[in-house]
Amino acid sequence: MVHQRKSEENARAGQRHVEANWPGKRPEDQLDHYLLESPQEDVTHTDVWRVLRIQSEFVNGFGTLAGTGPAIAVFGSARTDPQSPYYQMAHRIGSRLAEAGITTITGGGPGAMEAANKGAADNDGISVGLGIELPFETGLNASVNKGLNFRYFFVRKTMFVKYSQGFIVLPGGFGTLDELFEALTLVQTQKITSFPIVLVGKSYWGGLVDWLTNTVAAERAISAKDLNLFTVTDDPDEAVDLVLGMADKQPAPEQAV
């Protein structure tokens, strides 16, 4: 009993430590770090308490986003420069979605995410940002009018899929690729259905598409029909038309968790 009480105190103390003064934390201060590191002494008891933290993030996310309405998630690099044509494309996408009465959901950061949020907000649309606590991030961008910050990537990814009816993916790095392939896997395995995925930027995505076609599909690691799970375009208006046209065919506004 004494051991359990001490474990609970340690877990609570650890939680207070990682929740303090963000940004500026070290990578090892993130809750994901504690969850995913190799088992340490007392891990049985601290992980039990960590489940409550995870549960609270799900509850908070579901409660906040439940009334959001039809939405499209827009992904892209946090490093996209405001002078980049991709920044302008992201802004146009957010604008078009707002004009159609569709919520724009992004990761809430700078770059392409900021541009999509700004496009939505500039046209009186719902501009959602689902942020993640990272040492090099500075919080949600100023164009987010409904925002949440998450400590766990997997909770955040659930919110993207559950409350979006499709993805528009602009050029981005590992985080963007992670979200893209998560969605492709869920559609391929029929965990979600009628979920349009549109890539914007033929020159950027061309090498990836060639590799998927000439290597991955050719080696039968995926089937040829899996290449039809996404569309590539250079036109932001076409991207919006594609996701809205396909999303209209969905039987329900929310995806199952």
CB 196 within 8 A of CB 166: yes
Q: What is the pLDDT of residues 152-177, one digit of tens each?
A: 999 999 999 999 999 999 999 999 99
Question: Residue 134's pLDDT band (boundaries 50, 70, 90)?
Answer: confident
CB 197 within 8 A of CB 183: yes
pTM tops 0.75: yes
- List of long-range contacts for 183-192, beta carbons under 8 Å, 24+ apart: 184/226, 184/229, 184/230, 186/161, 187/229, 188/222, 188/226, 188/229, 191/256, 192/161, 192/255, 192/256
Please list, residue by residue across 83-110, b when 16 or more beta carbons sit within 10 angstroms of its beta carbon and e when fewer do: ebebbebbbbbbbbbbeeebbbbbbbbb
